[in-house]
Chains A and B, each alone.
Chain A
Amino acid sequence: MSLLEAKRLEKHYGDQVVLERLNFRVEPGEFVTLVGASGCGKTTFLKMLLGTERSSKGELLLDGKPIPNEPGPDRGVVFQKYSVFPHLTVLGNVMFAEEMRHSRLFGKAFGGTRRAAADKARERIAEVGLDHALDKYPHELSGGMQQRLAIAQALMMKPRILLLDEPFGALDPGIRVDMHELVTRLWQEQQLTIFMITHDLKEAFALGTRLWVFDKLRHDPQAPQAYGATITYDLPIDARQRQEGVPATFAESGIKTLTQETLL
Chain B
Amino acid sequence: MKRMINLAPSRGGRWLLGLLPFLIIAMVYFSLSSARLAENPNDRLLPAPATMADTFWSMASEENVRTGQILLWADTLSSLERLLAGVAISALIGLTIGIINGGVPMLRAKLSPLVTVLSLIPPMAILPILFIAFGTGEMAKIALIVIGITPFLIRDLQGEALRLPDEQLIKAQTLGGNSWQILCRVLLPQLTPRLLASTRLALGSAWLFLIAAEAIAAQEGLGYRIFLVRRYLSMDVILPYVAWITLLAFLLDQALAWTSRLAFPWYHANEGDKS
Is B a genuine binding partner of A? yes
Q: Please state if B173 and A87 are interface contacts (CB–CB under 8 Å).
A: no
Show 13 residue pairs from A and B whose CB-CB distance is below 8 angstroms, ordered by the A residue. Answer: A71-B170, A77-B170, A85-B168, A86-B190, A86-B266, A87-B189, A88-B189, A99-B185, A105-B180, A108-B184, A153-B171, A154-B174, A159-B174
Q: Please state if B184 and A106 are interface contacts (CB–CB under 8 Å).
A: yes
Does B178 interact with chain A (Cβ within 8 Å)? yes
Does A209 interact with chain B (Cβ within 8 Å)? no
Q: Please state if A97 and B176 are interface contacts (CB–CB under 8 Å).
A: yes
Q: Tell me which residues across on chain A come within 8 A of B180, comparing CB atoms.
A: 105, 107
Q: A82-B165, A157-B175 are in contact. Are A87 and B181 (CB under 8 A)?
A: no
B: interface residue count bin = 20 to 34
Q: Tell me which residues across on chain B come within 8 A of A103, comparing CB atoms.
A: 181
Q: Please state if A96 and B185 are interface contacts (CB–CB under 8 Å).
A: yes
Does B73 interact with chain A (Cβ within 8 Å)? no
Q: Please state if B176 and A157 are interface contacts (CB–CB under 8 Å).
A: yes
Q: Please state if B173 and A137 are interface contacts (CB–CB under 8 Å).
A: no
Mark A83-94 against chain B: 1 for CB-CB distance below 8 A, else 0.
111111000000
Q: How far does the alpha carbon of A101 sit from the alpha carbon of B264 in the complex, in Å?
A: 26
Q: Please state if A52 and B181 are interface contacts (CB–CB under 8 Å).
A: no
Does A70 interact with chain B (Cβ within 8 Å)? yes
Q: Please state if B167 and A81 are interface contacts (CB–CB under 8 Å).
A: yes
Q: A83-B167, A107-B177 are in contact. Are A96 and B266 (CB under 8 A)?
A: no
Q: How far does the alpha carbon of A88 sit from the alpha carbon of B266 in the complex, in Å?
A: 8
Q: A96-B175, A97-B176 are in contact. Are A139 and B270 (CB under 8 A)?
A: yes
Q: How far does the alpha carbon of A139 sit from the alpha carbon of B266 in the complex, in Å?
A: 7
Q: Which B residue sits closest to A80, measured CB to CB?
A: B167
Q: Please state if B185 and A108 are interface contacts (CB–CB under 8 Å).
A: yes
Q: Tell me which residues across on chain A come within 8 A of B171, comparing CB atoms.
A: 77, 79, 83-85, 153-154
Top 10 nearest A-B pairs (CB, nearest first) are A107-B181, A71-B173, A139-B269, A82-B165, A82-B167, A97-B175, A73-B176, A107-B185, A100-B176, A137-B266
Does B130 interact with chain A (Cβ within 8 Å)? no
Additional A-B contacts beyond A87-B264, A154-B174 (10; CB < 8 A): A50-B170, A50-B174, A52-B166, A71-B174, A79-B167, A82-B168, A87-B189, A87-B267, A107-B185, A137-B269
Q: Please state if A73 and B266 are interface contacts (CB–CB under 8 Å).
A: no
Mark B155-179 against chain A: 1 for CB-CB distance below 8 A, else 0.
0000000000111101111111110
Q: A86-B266, A87-B266, A139-B270 are in contact. Are A52 and B170 (CB under 8 A)?
A: yes
Q: Please state if B265 and A76 are interface contacts (CB–CB under 8 Å).
A: no
Does B196 interact with chain A (Cβ within 8 Å)? no
Q: How far does the alpha carbon of A124 sit from the alpha carbon of B269 in the complex, in Å?
A: 26
